[in-house]
Amino acid sequence: MIRSITQQKSEEEIERLVSDLNRIFIVGCGTCTTLTRTGGEPQVIEMKERLSEAGKMITGNTVVPVACDNLSGEIMDEYGSQIDQADAILIMSCAFGVQTIARQLKKMVVPALDTLFIGKETGPGQFNEICIQCGTCIIGETGGICPVTSCHKGLVNGPCGGTNNGKCEIDKNKDCAWTMIYTRLKELDRLDYMRKLQKPRNHLGEPTPGKFEIADG
Ligand code: SF4
Ligand code: SF4
């Protein structure tokens, strides 16, 4: 399963973000941040208690099923007066959820979490970063393994000189991404791909804000 991976901002940062706000409405997300225990019901209650102790008035709280879905706006309509009373909405979802809610409500939003990456569940409660949406996908030539996210240095041509017995020089507990790519290509009898030189990654070329339009026709 693919999830948005988040972590809670430090207490100090949240304190700073709400320092000039007195009345706050708190929203959690019933999907990714419930699973990662960063913004589900228990964390929303915990945050409510913490902010109340810090002297804030919590005008209400809820956990919407999927914060990044446009339906969140309609669901939150039910809390109209509680939201009206609030100076801002503290949102405990990933940045997609925060932006979805911000676009639908005329209210300041405060993200309580930092969004780290899109992760694939690899075991109970464990997620691996699998893609940073770099815009130049090369996994067709690396046996389906992404070196941008799997290699500690994000090398698109590897391995570096530090690979040792299949482990990474930066983290000896971690398999070297480029050894995995080599092994995979060998299994597939396509070691010729190891000799392909990938273009250096262009960190400046992507226009922002990113846009995509389906071509006519
Ligand atoms: S190369 Fe890796 S980071 Fe880039 S698009 Fe492909 S999977 Fe995503
Ligand atoms: S040892 Fe392997 S995974 Fe580690 S930085 Fe070098 S090429 Fe990347």
pLDDT-derived band at 135, boundaries 50, 70, 90: confident
Domain count, the chain: 2
C-alpha dihedral (26, 31, 32, 33), degrees to nearest 10 = 30
Residue 44 CB coordination number (10 Å): 23
Which atom of ligand 2 is found nearest the CA of 164? 1
pTM: 0.81
- List pocket residues of ligand 1, CB cut-off 6 Å: 131-134, 137-139, 146, 148-149
Which atom of ligand 1 is found nearest the CA of 134? 4
* 138 and 108 inside one domain: no
* 136 and 112 inside one domain: no
Residue 157 CB coordination number (10 Å): 14
CB 43 within 8 A of CB 92: yes
Nearest CA, atom 2, ligand 1: 146
* 64 and 8 inside one domain: yes
Average pLDDT over residues 7-21: 95
Q: What is the pLDDT of residues 188-199, one digit of tens each?
A: 999 999 999 999
Average pLDDT over residues 99-111: 91
Q: Is residue 124 part of a domain?
A: no
* 16 and 63 inside one domain: yes
Q: Is residue 122 part of a domain?
A: no
* 6 and 98 inside one domain: yes
Q: Is residue 150 part of a domain?
A: yes
Q: What is the pLDDT of residues 46-62, one digit of tens each?
A: 999 999 999 999 999 99
Q: How far apart are CA 168 and CA 42, in angstroms?
A: 38
Residue, of 211 and 36, whose pLDDT is higher: 36
* 83 and 19 inside one domain: yes
* 105 and 139 inside one domain: no
Burial label, 171 (beta-carbon count in 10 A; 0-12, 13-18, 19+): exposed
5 alpha carbon – ligand 2 mean position (Å)? 23
Q: Is residue 121 part of a domain?
A: no
In which domain, by residue range, is 75 found?
2-116
What was the pLDDT predicted at 205? 60
Q: What is the pLDDT of residues 159-184, one digit of tens each?
A: 999 999 999 999 999 999 999 999 99
* 73 and 139 inside one domain: no
Q: Is residue 71 part of a domain?
A: yes
* 12 and 57 inside one domain: yes
Q: Is residue 76 part of a domain?
A: yes
Q: Is residue 74 part of a domain?
A: yes
